[in-house]
Structure 1
Amino acid sequence: MDWLTLKPDNEMDWKRKQSDILAFINRYAGKRLYRNVYHGLLKLSYRDLSKPGTLLQLVTVQAEDGPRIAAFSGATGYGRELCIVVVHPLYRGIGLGTALLKQQLAALGSLTCRIALDDIGALQMGFRTGLCAKGLIKIHGGKRGLLLQEPLQNPMLGLSESNGKQESAANLAQRR
């Protein structure tokens, strides 16, 4: 498997890669793909790729006829505009999506994802990445979803938001 960060050389190179990515997403994202996400990727221009908070990654495998996409992840606007991870069915369940999302978070430094409550696999992936639920939201079609973001760091304690609460409870138990 090859892990690639997409940095096309020119507009034509981007259009070719964009076409391959959209075909992959259309085929393997299933019913979970929202129109706005697909249209967001469709409208993404070569110039948009250099904007802060934008990162597109591919995992490819070598097939007899050349490299094939095994997984794709993309974020624009640090995930606030667009956040998507799609893994080919043959490669699901091995942590590939989680690894891609972790790389997104590490590279961008900040990441926000909106995930439908009934999309258990995506929610698990988000939580395994280390993202925390920040709120209950409405997503497209009036469905309920969770807003996931990285935990905030508390500079006074040197702890993350969730760790600080857990450690405080542990400290209280030790004092008794």
Structure 2
Amino acid sequence: MAIADWLMIIAVLVGPIIAVQLTRYLDNLKERKERKLAIFKVLMATRAYNVSWTHVEALNRIDLEFDHNNRKEKAVIAAWKEYLDILSNSSISPEQWGMKRIDLMVELLHKMSRVLDYDFDKTHIKNSFYSPMAHGAIEDEQVALRRGLLEVLEGKRQIPISFSNIESSEK
């Protein structure tokens, strides 16, 4: 057999194996990008509701999905660490904390948008979202109800009861 015959046999045997491995590799790359994209989409969608469960979960997944060895993704992780640091900082005034938190969140989302090939500028990320006032009012009412109920259950507050329109039994 000639060398060309041997090369043909090797190509027939090895070709499908290489094709399958290449397909698996490309699928893994696509899946990793989709997980990063899912985090970004949740954070963008909930950026006005930073205490929502999905928002917090997405933040906590950054360390898992973004690569510490990739230069661009390392910038995302650094921005996340800086944002996390301010979230647990109670030494500054609430006004300063709120402004700094928003700036760092915008920075994090901007770095993520760059990694994921979105062209969002920081102003767009900071200002382009919809948050109905009714959502805030509902959340405030729910907090007030929970606090009031807890005060009743802890014995710190009583439920006021009054009777009206009671007919006298004296006839």
Q: Give the TM-score taking structure 2 as reference length.
A: 0.22
Could you say which structure has the larger radius of gyration?
Answer: 2
Structure in which a larger fraction of residues adopt strand: 1
The structure carrying a bigger helix percent of its residues is: 2
